[in-house]
A and B are shown apart, each in its own frame.
Chain A
Amino acid sequence: MKTIKLNINHQEVQVQAGLTILEACRSQGITIPTLCHLTECKPKGACRICVVEEEGKQNLVPSCVSEVKEGMRILTHSKRSLASRRMSLELILSNHRKDCLSCTRNLNCELQSLAQTLHVREDRFLGERTEGRYDDLSNGLVRDTSKCILCGRCVDACLNIQGLGVLTMMNRGFETRLGPVLDLSFKDVNCIECGQCVLHCPVGALSEKEEIHEVINALEDPKKFMIVQTAPAVRASLAEEFGAPMGTRITGKMVSALKQVGFDRVYDTNVAADLTILEEGHELLHRLENKGVLPLITSCSPGWINFLEKEYASLIPHVSSCKSPHMMFGAILKSHFAKVKGLDPKDIVVVSIMPCTAKKGEKERMTSEYKDVDHVLTTRECGRLIKLYGLDLMSMRDSEFDQDMFGTSSGAGVIFGVSGGVMEAALRTVVEKLTNKPLDKLEFKELRLIKDVKEADINVNGTLVKVAAVSTMKAAQPILMQIQEGTSPYTFIEIMACPGGCINGGGQSIYPCNHDLKTEDVIKLRAKALYAEDQDNTLRSSHLNPDILNLYRDFLGEPGSKIAHHHLHTHYSAKAALHLEFD
Chain B
Amino acid sequence: MLEQRIHLALGSSSNQEAVLHQLNASLKKNRLDDRIQVYCHTLHDLQKPACGIYPERIFYENINENLMRLLVEVQLLNKTPLEQFQQLKLDQSLIERFDQWDKDRFFYKQTRIVLKNAGKINPEDIQEAIAMDAYQALVKALTSMTPQDVLDEITLSGLRGRGGGGFPTGRKWQVAHDQINDVKYVICNADEGDPGAFMDRSLLEGDPHAILEAMMIAGYAIGSKHGYIYVRAEYPVAVKRLEIAIHQAENIGLLGNNILNLGFDFSIEIRLGAGAFVCGEETALIASIEGQRGTPNPKPPYPSVQGLWGKPTIINNVETLANIPQILLKGHKWFRTMGTPSSPGTKVFALGGKIKQTGLIEVEMGLSLKEVIYDIGQGCEHNKKFKAMQTGGPSGGCITREDLDTALGFDELIQLGSMMGSGGMIVLDEDNCMVDVARFYLDFIVEESCGKCTPCRIGTKRLLEMLNKVTQGEGTLELLDEMEALAQYIKTSSLCGLGQTAPNPFLSTYHHFKDEYMRHVVDKKCDAKVCKALLEYTIQADLCKKCGLCARACPTYAISGTVGRDPFTIDPNLCIRCGACVLTCKFDAIKRQ
Contacts and interface: CB of A to CB of B under 8 A. Distances in A.
Contact of B298 (A62, A127, A171, A173): A62
Contacts of B295: 169
A59 B493 contact: yes
B544 to A, nearest CB: 42
Contacts of B486: 87
Contacts of A125: 458, 462
Given A125-B462, A172-B449, A150 B298 contact: no
Contacts of B459: 87, 91
B17 to A, nearest CB: 48
Given A44-B298, A127-B462, A169-B293, A84 B454 contact: no
B37 interface: no
Given A125-B462, A127-B465, A47 B276 contact: no
B236 interface: no
Contacts of A127: 461-462, 465
A92 B456 CA distance: 11
B298 A65 contact: yes
Nearest to A45: B298
Interface in B92-139: none
Contacts of B452: 44, 46, 150, 152, 169
Contacts of B455: 48, 87-88, 91
A195 B449 CA distance: 30
A84 B489 contact: yes
Interface in B290-334: 293, 295, 297-298, 300
Contact of A91 (B298, B458, B491): B458
Contacts of A176: 450-451, 457
A92 B298 contact: no
B470 to A, nearest CB: 14
Nearest to B490: A87
B454 A47 contact: yes
Interface residues of A, number: 38
A94 interface: yes
A83 B492 CA distance: 12
A174 interface: yes
B493 A48 contact: yes
Contact of A173 (B297, B450, B465, B500): B450
Interface string A196-221: 00000000000000000000000000
B468 to A, nearest CB: 10
Interface string A455-480: 00000000000000000000000000
Given A58-B492, A87-B493, A172-B276, A47 B458 contact: no
Interface string A54-97: 00001110100111000000000000100110011001101100
Interface in B442-495: 446-462, 465, 482, 485-486, 489, 491-495
A44 B278 CA distance: 16
Contacts, number: 104
A248 interface: no
B451 A172 contact: yes
Given A45-B495, A58-B492, A59-B493, A88 B454 contact: yes
A168 interface: yes
Q: Is the interface of B mostly helix, strand, loop or mixed?
A: helix
A249 B451 CA distance: 43
Contacts of A60: 492-493
Contacts of A152: 452
A84 B461 contact: no
Q: Which of B293, B459, B461 has the most CB of A within 10 A?
A: B461
B465 A83 contact: no
Nearest to B499: A48
A37 to B, nearest CB: 12
A95 B458 contact: yes
A92 B495 contact: no
A92 B460 CA distance: 12
Interface in A105-119: none
Contacts of A49: 454
Nearest to A125: B462
B451 A91 contact: no
Nearest to A173: B449
Contacts of B300: 67
Contacts of B458: 91-92, 94-95, 125, 174
A87 B489 contact: yes
Contacts of B276: 172
Contacts of A88: 454-455, 489, 493
Contacts of B461: 127-128, 173-174
Q: Which of A45, A58, A174 has the most CB of B within 10 A?
A: A174
Contacts of A66: 298
Contacts of A83: 489
A497 to B, nearest CB: 25
Contacts of A45: 297-298, 453, 495
Q: Which of A67, A94, A127, A172 has the most CB of B within 10 A?
A: A172
A51 interface: yes
Interface string A325-353: 00000000000000000000000000000
Nearest to B449: A173
Nearest to B455: A48
Contacts of B451: 150, 169, 171-176
B454 A92 contact: yes
Contacts of B482: 124
A173 B492 contact: no
Contacts of A92: 454, 458
Contacts of B494: 48
Interface string B486-511: 10010111110000100000000000
Given A94-B458, A94-B462, A128-B461, A172 B450 contact: yes
Contacts of A173: 446-451, 456-457, 460-461
B457 A174 contact: yes
Q: Which of B278, B293, B447, B451 has the most CB of A within 10 A?
A: B451
Given A59-B500, A84-B493, A127-B461, A46 B449 contact: no
Interface string A167-189: 01101111110000000000000
A70 to B, nearest CB: 15
Contacts of A175: 451
Contacts of B449: 172-174
A48 B454 contact: yes
B90 to A, nearest CB: 59
Contact of A46 (B446, B453, B460, B489): B453
Contacts of A51: 493
Contacts of A48: 453-455, 493-495
Contacts of B293: 168-169
A315 B99 CA distance: 84
B492 A44 contact: no
Interface in A372-431: none
A59 B454 contact: no
A58 B460 CA distance: 20
Contacts of B450: 172-173, 176
A59 B492 contact: yes
B252 to A, nearest CB: 42
B457 to A, nearest CB: 6
B495 A62 contact: yes
A517 B118 CA distance: 61
Nearest to B451: A176
Give the 10 A-B residue pairs with the shortest CB-CB distance, closest first. Answer: A176-B451, A173-B449, A91-B458, A65-B298, A45-B298, A174-B461, A127-B465, A59-B492, A88-B454, A87-B489
5 contacts: A48-B494, A58-B492, A88-B454, A91-B459, A172-B448
Interface of A: 43-49, 51, 58-60, 62, 65-67, 80, 83-84, 87-88, 91-92, 94-95, 124-125, 127-128, 150, 152, 168-169, 171-176
Given A48-B493, A169-B295, 15 more contacts: A45-B453, A46-B454, A47-B453, A48-B455, A62-B298, A67-B300, A84-B492, A91-B462, A128-B465, A152-B452, A169-B293, A172-B276, A172-B278, A173-B456, A173-B457
